[in-house]
Structure formats: C-alpha cells, structure tokens
Amino acid sequence: MTPEQMRDASLLELFSLEAEAQTQVLSAGLMALERNPTQADQLEACMRAAHSLKGAARIVGVDAGVSVAHVMEDCLVAAQEGRLRLGTEHIDALLQGTDLLMRIATPGDAGAQATLPVFLAQMAGLLDPGAAAMPPLSPAVPAPPEAPVQTARAEPLPLPVEPLESELELAPRRKAGKRASEGTERVLRVTADRLNSLLDLSSKSLVETQRLKPYLATLQRLKRMHGQGMQALDGLRMQLEDSGQSSEVLEALAQTQRLLAETQQILQQQAADLDEFGWQASQRAQLLYDTALACRMRPLADVLTGQSRMVRDLGRSLGKPVRLLVEGEKTQVDRDVLEKLEAPLTHLLRNAVDHGIELPERRLLAGKAEEGVIRLRASHQAGMLSLELIDDGAGIDLERLRSSIVERSLSPADTVARMSEAELMTFLFLPGFSLRDKVTEVSGRGVGLDAVQHMIRELRGSIELTQLAGQGCRFHLQVPLTLSVVRSLVVEVGGEAYAFPLAHIERSLKVNAEEIVQIEGRQHFWHEGRHIGLVAASQLLNRPAGQTQESSLWVVVIREREQLYGVAVERLVGERVLVVMPLDPRLGKVRDISSGALLDDGSVVLIVDVEDLLRSVEKLLSTGSLERIERSSSGARGVARKRILVVDDSLTVRELQRKLLGNRGYDVAVAVDGMDGWNALRGEDFDLLITDIDMPRMDGIELVTLVRRDQRLQSLPVMVVSYKDREEDRRRGLDAGADYYLAKASFHDDALLDAVIELIGGAQG
C-alpha cells in the first residue's frame, strides 16, 4: 500500500467514525422535531450535523455522501428560515437520508449507490412540491429474525485512555489533521483480547499481593517468639548471677543477649518494611485492577443506538405512534455484557410495541394519550445492572392467557383457575408460547420471551414480568455489571473451596438437627412458610462428606426460577468478589462447574453452575439415588475456647465484634475504653486483644504500649481496629507494638475473622 493509499484509508476510517456519531445526532434530533417541528435547538443541531458530514464527505472524496448531506442540509435550512414546515413525510425522508449516509460511510455496502437516485428525487419533490416527485419512501422497519441474533461488532474498537468515555462520544472530536495537543482526548485502538489479558494480569497481581499476608503473620509470630526467648535469657542470667557463676559464662551470656537484641531490631524493621510494602502493593494492585476493569466499561447508551428510531419506525408501520424514553443511559457496563444485552432488549422493545401498546383509537377510549410511551430505566444496584422496561399499554389479558394454557394442554383447567397472576406469567416464558393468533412480520413465530430468558440466564442474570391490567407491563432485568468478576459466597465442601454466585442465592442459614424432617422419603426443613428440599453438596460435587460433631448444618438456599433447594455445606468461608477464569476447553463441560477463580491466598476455587447443579438434583431425585445427610445430635463438649478482649468506646462496634467472634466460637469479653481494658488484662488471661485507637481516659496506643512493657503480657497478640487508614496511622499503631492493623473503612465480617485466625487460629485450642 502506498503512503497516499494509507492516508486515504485513514481518512475514510475517520469519516466512518464521524458518520456514526453524526447520524446519531440526526436520528435523535429528527425524532424530537417530529413531535415539535419548530424546536430551534434541534433544527440547528441537525443542520450542523448534516453540514459537517457534507464537508467530511467532500474531504475524503465520497461524492454520494456530499449529495445526500447537501440535500438534507437544504431541507433543514429551509425549516430554520420558515420557508418549510417539517411534516411526517419530511421526517421520514430525512431519516431515510440518515440511514443512507451511514450506509455510504460503511465500507463494502455497495447497495447504497442504487438507492441514491430515488432518495435525491424524493427530496427534490419535497423541497419543490411543484416538481414531479417519486413515490414516497416508507419508513424502514427491519424484519425480525427467526431468533434473536447477537450483533457482531468489529474489532478492534477505539477506546479512550482517560477519562473513560464511549468511543461514540469521542468520535466527533477526532478530525483529520487535528492534534491531540489542542485539548482533545487521545483515542487508542486496543483489541478485546489485549484488554482481557490486561484484566487477567491485573487480577492475578491483586491476588499475589494478598499472599504477603501469611509471611507478615509469620514475621509477627517470630517477633513474639524472639521476645519470649529474650525474656527466658534474662531469667537465666539472673539465676546465674545469684548462683555465682564465673565471669566468662556471664560474659558469654551477655554477648548472646546483645546479638539477640540486634537481631530483634532487624526483625522489627523487616516486619515493618514488609507491612508497609504489602499495604502499598495491595493499594496499587487494586487501583491497577479497577483501572483495567474500567477500560472495559461502556455506557448503556452504546447498545441503545438506533433503538429509539426502531421503536418509532415499528410503531409507524403498525399505525401506532410510540416513543422510547431512556433514563440512566450513561450507566457503565462491561462491553461483553452490553453486546449480549442488545438482542434481548431489542426483542422486549419490539414486543412492547406490538403486544403492549394499543392502537390510537383504543388508547383514546381508555383515557390515555394517543402516543404510547415505553420507558427504559437503568441503574446500578448491589453490584448488578438493573433494567426496567415499562410500557403504558393494555397489559396482559389474564383470561385469554388462562384459555391459551388450557388449549395447549399445559395444565388442567381447574389448576389454571387457581393459579396466581405470577404463576400464570411464567407460562409466557415457555418455548413456543405466544398469545398471537397469527404470524406477522413482528410476532407470532413462537420465538420470544423464552429466547430472551435464555440469553439473560447466559449472562448469569434474571428476568421478571409483572403487569397491571389496562396500564401496561413491566420487565425487570438484573445482570452482572461485568462477566469478568462474579460476587459469590465461598463455602467448603469435602475440604475444598466452592463458590455459589450470589445472583442464585436466596439466603444462607444454619439449620438445627431437629428442624430436618422426612417427607415422602426426602429430607426437608421449614423456612418462611414452605418446605425446602435438603441435599448434600458433598454428594452433588462428588466430595467426601466432612466430619463434624455439630448438631446444626450450614445450608445455602439456591433458587432457579421456581426451583428452590437447600444445599448443605461444611462451612461458610464468606462473600468474595472473584475474577472469573474460564476452564481449559480441553476439559469439555465439567458437570456442575462453570469456571474457576483464585482466592486471596492464591488457592483455587471452583464456581458452581447452579442451573447444572439443580439438574443433577432432579436426576438424583428421579433415580432415587439422593442420600440422606447424616448429622450428629450433640455438639462437642468440654473443649476450651480461646478468649478475646475487645476494647472500643463505640457500643455498636463492640457488640458487632462480640457477635461476629462469638458466632465463630470464641469467648469474647468487652471493655469500654483503654483504662477499662487495661484493668481487664491485668486481672484475666486472654489469647488476643482487639483495640480501637481513639478512646477516652486511655487511648489504644497507650494501652498497647503498656501491654508491651508488661512482662506477663509482652507476647499477647494485639490487633488495632481503627477508622484511620493513613500510612502514618498504621505505622504509629505497629510501632507501638500491635501485630495487626485493620481499618474500619474496609471492615467487614471476613476481614476481621481472617485476621483473628491469622493471629491465634480457630476458636478451639
């Protein structure tokens, strides 16, 4: 390729980017002008977009683009000057011109040239009604596919470096010959594979920094053991002095003590340096991971491009004026999730126009506005993307739905008559189910909500339908913000870690032995007004059953549609945000497992495929192979529990820590301030001290200092829990003699419990 060809290719690429952005401006502006043809700001925006595209097409030598943009600009200028009032026929033609411009700017679309003469003749007739005009162009309504087709996007995609914006927002600013130094944001092209690799490497870096924690805990234990050794030598020296040992022996002992004192200083410095390095490394690794993840995030608006136009055109083809209103279009979502959302959203919007919105005359009789409205609301909720699609149509005819269920022999009439509205709605998601009597271009092909539900489940999400008769339907979708990470509950089964995605968990709870009953040969327990079947995770996952003396079981209640089961596990490790690592494709489909991940300590955890797991449950039930869960009727007796003293002036914090640690089997005492804690330490024996810093009478630093000066308490493990998380605050606490520093800003159940286990181990010793 010659330098001139390379230059032309680059300009054509820029023209394509600009056309994509400017045609969005035109589509949005023209639909606004259809409702109010005299909006000066929208006329100006559309005129400028057409003018910009005309100039850009002239620069790159695309004559067809110049012709289309020029005639569109003439029409818009005439409307601005009052020489022409935009009607529906003008808007239809201008929207056709917008589509034609995008086709002209798309490489390889040869059909655009054939449409050009018809469009120019049509526009000429509209601008000069006296001239012979061609037959009007009809709104383009894309024919529905037989099944939802996921839109393929060309790679690589242009991605901003910083701050995060969509490539479509940046495209208008990326002009030929424009320098980045003129205040515009630079845009780089990065392949999806490279972004995935960056995210994978950053997640592994985050995990690797967590592996420093055991080394730091070992150093802290060495410090305590070293201190105990020095105390023993002090006692030995005093005994030798009293017994009149020779000066040579005493000098050798003194030399040993001096060497130990020097090594103690080195050990303390190394522990402090490692703690500081570990803290800074974890902060930077977290920032790196967050930045890498942000590079994959794009606004929801990216998949809504053209949806407003599609709703408008489809409504016109059906004789229904319909408008789409979007709230939260800037909500950020992972690009992979966005691409997989496009097809189901398109299906739901088409269904809303076809099934939901009534014809204008029926709407007027019902006291509604002639124009139908579909609202799409997007927001972040608890780490998930929440989407609500609401139409103001007629809702669902429940009696007709009941009749259709009976006619299809899906359920007996007497059973259907007793079904609740929610139960009836579930039939709409069955394969091939439709309320449409005949096949049209839009509906009645038996491919609809079942396909939508399947695609949403592939995203590890959920979909729910509710309606209000005569007032419309509401679809509520929840999907993860990213497929790269998954919020999970990590449990232990047969000594191995497994993760259940939180999206499928109803709740987790402890079930006492006496609550488990046998019903028709199967184990159940009663929860919130219903019996829930109980199965052993060890049998489902082919793990050996764990040995326990406890009289209760940890149970994870999982839900998939209407199926609800309690899965008995050995232990709840806690909630984790896991970076998903796909299994090696050479393994094929691993039963009941979807993917893997790494825990903070670098160990592997397998992520459970809940749908597959429930199929395994059904198979065990159908073959009569489900095993009973054996449990002990009495707990362990006579085992000493480790004692912890919690010192904090906040009643809430004291009680929270007491409850968390008590639930894990520790014996917990509390003190209201440093003075109260010091008195408790002098009068009783404890295995661990947990203290706040800022307290009345005696603060935490003073308390820790007194502990380290006391010969009896010198080796007592000490944890500081404080709201302050600055580096100097951490250093101040550790310098005073604390073994562990935990910030309340990042305080949660697992962080506290993990730290306690690191320092003193489990509750029983």
> Each residue of 707-750: pLDDT tens digit?
988 888 888 999 988 877 677 777 888 888 888 888 765 555 57
Question: Is a pLDDT exceeding 50 seen at residue 6?
Answer: no
Highest mean pLDDT among 11-20, 190-199, 384-393: 384-393
Cβ atoms 13, 39 nearer than 8 A: no
DSSP assignment string, 210-262: HTHHHHHHHHHHHHHHHHHHHHHHHHHHHHHHHTT--HHHHHHHHHHHHHHHH
The yes/no answer on whether domain 643-760 falls in CATH 3.40.630.30 is no
253-263 per-position pLDDT tens digit: 889 989 988 99
Question: Is a pLDDT exceeding 60 seen at residue 177?
Answer: no
Question: Both tokens of residue 373?
Answer: 């409205």
The predicted model gives 470-493 an average pLDDT of 87
Q: With the CA atoms of 238, 241, 246 and 250 taken in that order, what torsion angle do they form, in degrees rounded to the nearest 10?
A: 30
Distance CA 192, CA 322 (A): 36
Angle CA 489–493–497, to nearest 5: 55
Q: How many CA atoms lie within 13 Å of 74's alpha carbon, on the beta-carbon side?
A: 14
Nearest-CA neighbor of 578 among 122, 210, 141?
210
Question: Is a pLDDT exceeding 70 seen at residue 334?
Answer: yes
Domain at 3-127: CATH architecture: Up-down Bundle (1.20)
CA 426 → CA 131, 349, 414, 735, distances in Å?
57, 19, 17, 62
Q: With the CA atoms of 331, 336, 340 and 345 taken in that order, what torsion angle do they form, in degrees rounded to the nearest 10?
A: 10
Cβ atoms 452, 440 nearer than 8 A: no
Cβ atoms 346, 304 nearer than 8 A: no
pLDDT class of 547 with cuts at 50, 70, 90: low
**pLDDT value, residue 179:** 37
Bridge-based pairing state of the strands 667-671 and 643-647: parallel
* Domain assignments of the chain as residue spans, ordered by start: 3-127, 209-295, 301-480, 486-623, 643-760
pLDDT class of 634 with cuts at 50, 70, 90: very low
Question: Both tokens of residue 192?
Answer: 């999806």
SS (H, E, C) 638-690: CCCECEEEEECCCHHHHHHHHHHHHHCCCEEEEECCHHHHHHHHHHCCCCEEE
pLDDT class of 141 with cuts at 50, 70, 90: very low
Distance CA 729, CA 707 (A): 19
Nearest-CA neighbor of 452 among 479, 423, 483?
479
What sign for the dihedral angle of Cα 409, 410, 412, 416? negative
Percent of the chain with pLDDT over 70: 84
Question: Is a pLDDT exceeding 60 seen at residue 437?
Answer: no
Question: Is a pLDDT exceeding 70 seen at residue 183?
Answer: no
pLDDT class of 369 with cuts at 50, 70, 90: very high
491-511 per-position pLDDT tens digit: 999 888 999 988 788 888 888
Window from 161-175, 179-193, 470-484, 686-700 with minimum mean pLDDT = 161-175
580-615 per-position pLDDT tens digit: 887 777 777 788 888 888 787 667 889 998 888 888
Nearest-CA neighbor of 171 among 70, 283, 25, 368?
25
pTM assigned to the model: 0.58
Domain at 486-623: CATH architecture: Beta Barrel (2.40)
**pLDDT value, residue 442:** 52
Angle CA 90–91–94, to nearest 5: 85
Question: Both tokens of residue 126?
Answer: 């509209």
Distance CA 352, CA 392 (A): 9
**pLDDT value, residue 391:** 94
pLDDT class of 561 with cuts at 50, 70, 90: low
669 burial type by CB count under 10 A (0-12 exposed, 13-18 middle, 19+ buried): middle
- Residue 511 β-bridge partners: 553
Cβ atoms 693, 671 nearer than 8 A: no
CATH topology classification for 301-480:
Heat Shock Protein 90 (3.30.565)
